[in-house]
Structure 1
């Protein structure tokens, strides 16, 4: 719960500090500008609110690791929902409206997470998770999107170190083996999720892990 709050607070703070010009920069998400990613974060915040308000008495069907659908195909930005996000972001026109909406819905999502029982069960995407596991998935979601958001924004704050460490641990567990210690947490996440290609030295250092990455999480 603490990691969720810290990751989400840090991400929203970065958005609040963006200049109007920053919203037109590319992001680390294929086919999306920064404004498109911020619009996606609003949808994510809505998902948190909707899911926490969808309790279930069924046994969990997934956890924080098995929640993710893994693909070996990189995203192109052409998915219908991705395209809808781009159109929706453009409709805001004024970046301050995007900032306001994210702060409004995002603050509510953060408060709802703090009030939720980690042992409770909720339904999302046709699956059942404990609240703790559901919020853990968003630690990685927030951390990766924080890196996406600042990919082309100079001097922006990095994600919290604790969120980077936990996200790396989760990605290594999903991959089935640890990444080499010579990779920083940021590099491990960027390379492990296909956000950048490894250098020749990094590729060699990945060893057996090289056959398992990148992992495209959806």
Structure 2
């Protein structure tokens, strides 16, 4: 749960450092500008708040790793994705979008600090402990932090401990380890399809190469 807070705070700080003009630049999410990604983070923060106030007595069905499912790579045709693009454009002033993220994001961070890690919460029809739910969200924050800085080299990237944790989670999901000499960021970028592996990298990956990307949803 502490890693959730550190990852989320680092991502919000990175957004705060993005210049207004850079909100119109492409992000690492295919088809999304930086402003679209930031708008998505606002919705993510709302989801965290909603989930943490939705306790349940149902039995746990998922943990921090099994929360994530391997899905078909996004095509850009999902209605919610299209809504996010329109909503992000409607903000107009990047400062308003930046403010909304920090306003809702700080509340989500505070709610996470106050949450009982053993409390069971429900989201998307699944039940997790609050601790596992927040641990799962480290993957969300870390991947989107990489998306944010994909074409903004002057903005700080995600914390090293978040990258390491997410690499471990992705390897658990994949059921195999990635090459040991690969950086954690490279594993996440290639593993989730944010970057296409080179021929040499595919040779290093071996059999897992044909299973990539591991798009998570």
After TM superposition, the score normalised by the length of structure 2 is 0.98
For 1:32, the equivalent position in structure 2 comes to: 32
How many Å apart are 1:155 and its aligned residue?
Answer: 1.6
SS of equivalent residue, structure 1 residue 122: strand
What per-residue deviation string (whole Å, max 9, x for no partner) do you get for residues 118-167 of structure 1?
Answer: 11100111111111110011100000000001111122101000000000
The equivalent of 2:49 in structure 1 is: 49
Equivalent in the alignment of 2:108: 109
Q: Please give the per-residue CA displacement for 1:146-204, whole angstroms capped at 9, x wherever unaligned.
A: 00011111221010000000000000000000101121101000000001111111111
Partner deviation per Cα, 1:76-124 (whole Å, 9 max, x = no partner): 2221000000000011000000010000000000000000011110011
In 1, Cα distance between equivalents of 2:90 and 2:207: 46
- 3-state SS of 1:31 partner: coil
Question: Which residue pairs with 1:146 in the alignment?
Answer: 145
Q: 1:123 is matched with which residue?
A: 122
- Structure 2 distance, partners of 1:208, 1:115, is 44
Mapped to 2, the partners of 1:146 and 1:32 lie a distance apart of 14
Instruction: Establish whether residue 17 from structure 1 lines up as the match of residue 17 from structure 2.
Output: yes
How do 1:118-197 residues align onto structure 2 when only pairs under 5 Å count? 118-197=117-196
Distance 2:4 2:96 in 1: 25
Distance 1:190 1:172 in 2: 13
Matched with 2:89 is 90
Give the distance between the partners of 1:116 and 1:74, measured in 2 at CA. 33
In structure 2, what is the Cα distance between the partners aligned to 1:26 and 1:77?
14
Cα distance, 1:65 vs. partner? 1.6
Once residues 206 and 179 of structure 2 are traced to their aligned partners in structure 1, the CA distance between those partners, rounded to angstroms, is 8
* Residue of structure 2 in register with 1:7 after alignment: 7
- Give SS of 2:37's match: helix
| Secondary structure at 2:147 match in 1 | helix
Q: CA RMSD in A?
A: 0.9
Contact 1:11/1:159, CA 8 A, preserved across alignment = yes
Counterpart residue number, 1:198: 197
1:42-90 CA distances to partner (integer Å, 9 max, x unpaired)?
A: 000000000000001111111112212212x321222100000000001
Q: Describe the SS at the equivalent of 1:70.
A: coil
Structure 1 runs (4+) greater than 4 angstroms displaced? none
With the length of structure 1 as denominator, give the TM-score of the two structures. Answer: 0.97
The 2-side partners of 1:68 and 1:80 are apart by 21
Gaps of 5+ in 1: none
